Amino acid sequence: MGKTIGKVLEVASIAAFAYVTVGVGLGVAAGATVGASVSSLAAGIGLSTSALSGLALAGFADVAGLGGSTGQKPESTVVALKPRRREEAETGEPHRGTGRLLPPGSAAAWVEGDLVSRADFGRARSWAVDELFEPDRRALPGAQRA
C-alpha cells in the first residue's frame, strides 16, 4: 500500500515538475519569439495583472483618450495597462481609442485607475499621438484648407 502511494506521489511530482517546466519553458520561448515580450513572459510564468501594473513604475502606462471622441471617460483617468485594439465595428470604440505610452519624464507611477494631472496626461497623450500621426499644416494642392 505504502509502495503504491509512494509510486503515485512520485508520478504526480514528476508530472507537476514537467507541467511547470514546460509551462515556464513555453513562456520563455514565446516571450523570446515575439521579441522578449514582457507580458508574454509574465503570462507564461503566471504573473497577475496587478504584478504587471508594477511595470508602470518603470514609466509604462496606458491612458484613455488617444484617438479621442469617446467622451466616456474622464481624460485624467488611466483606464488600463494593457488596452488592445478592439474592433470598432463590434464595440463602437475608436480605432485608436487607447495607446500604450512611455511618457518621457511623466507618469512614472501611473497604474490602472489612477488619476493623473491633466498636464501629465496631455504630455503623454501628445507624445503618443506624435508617434503615429503628424498633420500637414499646409493646404493640399488645388484645395482650400478645410
Partner 1 sequence: MTACNLIVQRSAGAAYLLTDTAALNAAREVSQFRSKVLGVRIRGKVVGAIAATGHIDVAYVRKPLRQLAPPDFATFWAALPDLLREAMGAHAARHPDRDGSRRAAMLGAVFDRDAGEPRGFMIGSDGSMFPDASYAAFVVHPVLKHLTDFDRLVGRPYPLGTDVTDPRQWQAERDGVRLIEAQRRDAFERADGSAYCGIGGRAMLTRVDASGVSHRVLKNWRGDRVGCELPFIPAATASLVISAEHVLAHARCSASRFH
CB of 5 to partner 1, least distance (A): 32
Q: Per CB under 8 A, which of residues 73..102 are in contact with partner 1?
A: 82, 84-92, 94-97, 99-102
CB of 61 to partner 1, least distance (A): 11
Q: Count Cβ atoms below 10 Å from residue 71 Cβ, excluding itself.
A: 8
* Location of C-alpha cell 507611477: 109
> Would you say 66 and 98 are in contact if contact means Cβ atoms under 8 Å apart?
yes
- Contact track, partner 1, 2-21, x by CB under 8 A: --------------------
Span of 5-13, 23-31, 108-116 interacting with partner 1 by CB under 8 A: 23-31
1 near partner 1 (CB under 8 A): no
Across 14-49, b (16+ Cβ under 10 Å) vs e yields: eeeeeeeeeeeeebeeebeeeeeeeebbbebeeeee
Give the CA count within 13 Å in the CB-facing half-sphere of 120: 21
Q: Per CB under 8 A, which of residues 25..64 are in contact with partner 1?
A: 26-27, 30, 33-40, 43-44, 55, 60
CA angle 10, 47, 13 (to 5 degrees): 0
Q: Per CB under 8 A, which of residues 102..121 are in contact with partner 1?
A: 102
Among 23, 54, 74, 105, binds partner 1 (CB under 8 A): 23
Burial class (CB in 10 A: 0-12, 13-18, 19+), 66: buried
Q: Site residues (CB under 8 A) for partner 1?
A: 23, 26-27, 30, 33-40, 43-44, 55, 60, 66-69, 82, 84-92, 94-97, 99-102, 128-129, 131-143, 146
